[in-house]
């Protein structure tokens, strides 16, 4: 019964969203984003680059066959309440049948894929004018429902398949992503930090003041011209990449690059995604607690390896819970091994902590185990952290490391409690 109701809801929401778009006084430029790494950050950077007052952007996890039509209709979901969804459908019908006068100039939508067929459902609702496909690595980020990374990429690639015109930006770092250029009529351009990329970014440099790192600066080659780009509120190279492709998207949409660069200067990353925070004493915390996948954890550890500190580099890493059971142990072991050469101390937390810690210790690093978030707080308090140290936090959300971060940023480090 629940499956039938979900199917009915999806079908009606898609119909109403499509109807609303057909009733729009002017057609918005539709910009869609998919991929496996950095989708949300890229979406938010694009919205900032375009000027948020002209943009309707999907919020949070409104990136499914439920969330995308709700975004277009300007509605929120009803959770598990049947009566609430009944009310939403009635309101959606009324909105769909009313001429859409205050149409945004741009519609920026993140499109997620969890199951085979998901992208086909989303394409029935929207067809992009401009598309971005972020890196799709050889190991699926959420691989439970796809036998191979190739099949996951193929499903995500349906976002641009058979689209007759427009521009698609594909992450140049991953062959699975660039291969998706086949089968689309869109003009395809690669973006990244390699010499051959069509939109090429230089390796960014950290901006540093008396407290330490706070931003990034670098250059972007756009339409043959090299332009400097400064980001005052982001610190990770992956975020520089997101801002760079956002600049390219805005340029393709006809925006003035000078104005776009000014907007991006103060772009802030999405909450708990490589977000720089500081304790009361001024110690750097990298809050990356929104979720965790092998590719994202490796990127965070590589970032920490180069992060300038006078004291210790510490990583608090927890379970990556959305992996297929066939690759779980291997993925955690590889991450633990990398941590040994990236940070001075690893604190591993969660049910899979021994895989992480054992691998780090065997590789010559120092690792400790913590059963849960409370144990993490005790370990950190015992370390007597100072403002010269830096701590990375990353795990699946269920581990609760966000609570440890919040405790650290509001109380002296020596008194951390959750």
**Residue 235 near residue 214 (C-beta atoms within 8 A):** yes
Looking at residue 158, what DSSP letter applies? T
Domain membership of residue 121 (yes or no) is yes
Query: What is the share, in percent, of the chain residues with pLDDT greater than 70?
Result: 97
Domain membership of residue 178 (yes or no) is yes
Are 244 and 322 found together in one domain?
Answer: no
pLDDT level of residue 2 (50, 70, 90 thresholds): confident
**Residue 16 near residue 6 (C-beta atoms within 8 A):** no
In this prediction, residue 5 carries a pLDDT of 80
In this prediction, residue 325 carries a pLDDT of 84
Using N-to-C axis directions, what is the helix angle for 82-97 and 2-22, rounded to 10°?
20
Domain membership of residue 287 (yes or no) is yes
pLDDT in tens, 129-156: 999 999 998 875 555 688 888 999 999 9
Buried b (16+ CB within 10 A) or exposed e, 83-93: eebeebbeebe
Q: Is 1 a residue whose pLDDT tops 90?
A: no
Last residue of a domain, one of 243, 265, 287: 265
Q: Which of 68, 57, 77, 72 is nearest to 22 (CA)?
A: 72
In this prediction, residue 141 carries a pLDDT of 52
Rounded average pLDDT over 43-71: 96
Are 288 and 249 found together in one domain?
Answer: no
- Number of Cβ within 10 Å of residue 282's Cβ equals 12
Are 17 and 146 found together in one domain?
Answer: yes
Are 37 and 129 found together in one domain?
Answer: yes
Last residue of a domain, one of 247, 265, 283: 265
Pairing of strands 29-34, 106-110: parallel
Are 89 and 113 found together in one domain?
Answer: yes
Nearest-angstrom CA–CA distance, 91 and 16: 10
Supply the CATH number for residue 72's domain. Answer: 3.40.1190.10
Give the long-range contacts of residues 173-182, CB within 8 A, separation 24 or more: 173/135, 174/135, 174/136, 174/137, 174/138, 176/136, 176/137, 176/138, 176/149, 176/150, 177/35, 177/133, 177/134, 177/135, 177/136, 177/153, 179/153, 180/133, 180/153, 180/156
Are 317 and 229 found together in one domain?
Answer: no
Query: Taking the model in full, what pTM does it have?
Result: 0.94
Last residue of a domain, one of 219, 244, 265: 265
Domain membership of residue 78 (yes or no) is yes
Choose the most confident range, by mean pLDDT, from 77-91, 131-145, 213-227.
Answer: 213-227
pLDDT in tens, 368-395: 999 999 999 999 999 999 999 999 999 9
Nearest-angstrom CA–CA distance, 360 and 339: 6
Pairing of strands 167-171, 187-192: parallel
Query: What is the share, in percent, of the chain residues with pLDDT greater than 90?
Result: 88
Are 356 and 315 found together in one domain?
Answer: yes
Higher per-residue pLDDT: 141 or 331: 331
pLDDT level of residue 327 (50, 70, 90 thresholds): confident
Q: Which of 234, 41, 267 is nearest to 135 (CA)?
A: 41
Q: In terms of residues, how long is the chain?
A: 418
Domain membership of residue 270 (yes or no) is no
In this prediction, residue 53 carries a pLDDT of 86
Are 301 and 361 found together in one domain?
Answer: yes
pLDDT in tens, 248-275: 999 999 999 999 999 999 999 999 999 9
Are 240 and 138 found together in one domain?
Answer: yes
Are 244 and 301 found together in one domain?
Answer: no
Domain total in the chain: 2
Supply the CATH number for residue 333's domain. Answer: 3.90.190.20
Which domain range does residue 224 map to? 2-265
Average pLDDT, the chain: 95
Rounded average pLDDT over 79-90: 92
Q: Is 412 a residue whose pLDDT tops 60?
A: no
Q: Is 202 a residue whose pLDDT tops 90?
A: yes
Nearest-angstrom CA–CA distance, 118 and 308: 42
**Residue 236 near residue 260 (C-beta atoms within 8 A):** no
Are 164 and 129 found together in one domain?
Answer: yes
Rounded average pLDDT over 20-30: 98
Are 260 and 282 found together in one domain?
Answer: no
């Amino acid at each position: 019964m629940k499956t039938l109701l979900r199917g009915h809801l999806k079908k009606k929401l898609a119909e109403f969203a499509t109807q609303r778009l057909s009733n729009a006084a002017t057609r918005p430029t539709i910009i869609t984003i998919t991929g496996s790494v950095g989708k949300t950050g890229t979406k938010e950077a694009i919205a900032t680059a375009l000027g948020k007052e002209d943009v309707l952007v999907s919020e949070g996890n409104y990136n499914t066959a439920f969330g995308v039509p709700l975004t277009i209709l300007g509605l929120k979901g009803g959770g598990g309440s049947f009566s609430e969804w009944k009310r939403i459908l009635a309101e959606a019908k009324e909105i769909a049948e009313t001429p859409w006068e205050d149409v945004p100039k741009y519609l920026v939508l993140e499109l997620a894929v969890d199951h085979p067929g998901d992208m086909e459902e989303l394409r029935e609702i929207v067809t992009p004018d401009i598309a971005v496909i972020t890196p799709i690595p050889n190991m699926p980020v959420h691989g439970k429902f796809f036998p191979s990374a190739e099949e996951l990429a193929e499903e995500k690639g349906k976002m641009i398949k058979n689209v007759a015109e427009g521009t698609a930006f594909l992450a140049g770092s991953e062959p699975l992503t660039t291969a998706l250029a086949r089968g689309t009529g869109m003009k395809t351009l690669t973006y990244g930090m390699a010499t051959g990329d069509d939109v090429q970014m230089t390796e960014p440099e950290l901006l540093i003041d008396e407290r330490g790192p706070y931003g990034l600066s670098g250059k972007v080659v756009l339409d043959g011209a090299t332009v400097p780009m400064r980001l005052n509120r982001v610190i990770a190279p992956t975020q520089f990449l997101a801002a760079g492709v956002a600049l390219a998207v805005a340029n393709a949409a006809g925006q003035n690059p000078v104005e776009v660069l000014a907007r991006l200067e103060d772009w802030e990353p999405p909450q708990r995604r490589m977000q720089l925070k500081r304790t009361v004493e001024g110690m750097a915390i990298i809050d990356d607690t929104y979720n965790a996948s092998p590719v994202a954890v490796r990127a965070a550890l590589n970032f920490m390896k180069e992060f300038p500190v006078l004291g210790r580099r510490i990583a608090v890493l927890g379970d990556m819970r959305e992996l297929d059971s066939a690759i779980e142990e291997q993925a955690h072991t590889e991450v633990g091994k990398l941590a040994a050469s990236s940070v001075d101390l690893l604190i591993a937390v969660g049910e899979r902590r021994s895989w992480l810690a054992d691998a780090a210790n065997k590789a010559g690093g120092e690792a400790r185990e913590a059963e849960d978030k409370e144990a993490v707080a005790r370990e950190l308090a015992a370390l007597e952290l100072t403002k010269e140290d830096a701590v990375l936090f990353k795990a699946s959300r269920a581990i609760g490391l966000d609570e440890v971060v919040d405790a650290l940023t509001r109380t002296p480090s020596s008194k951390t409690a959750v």
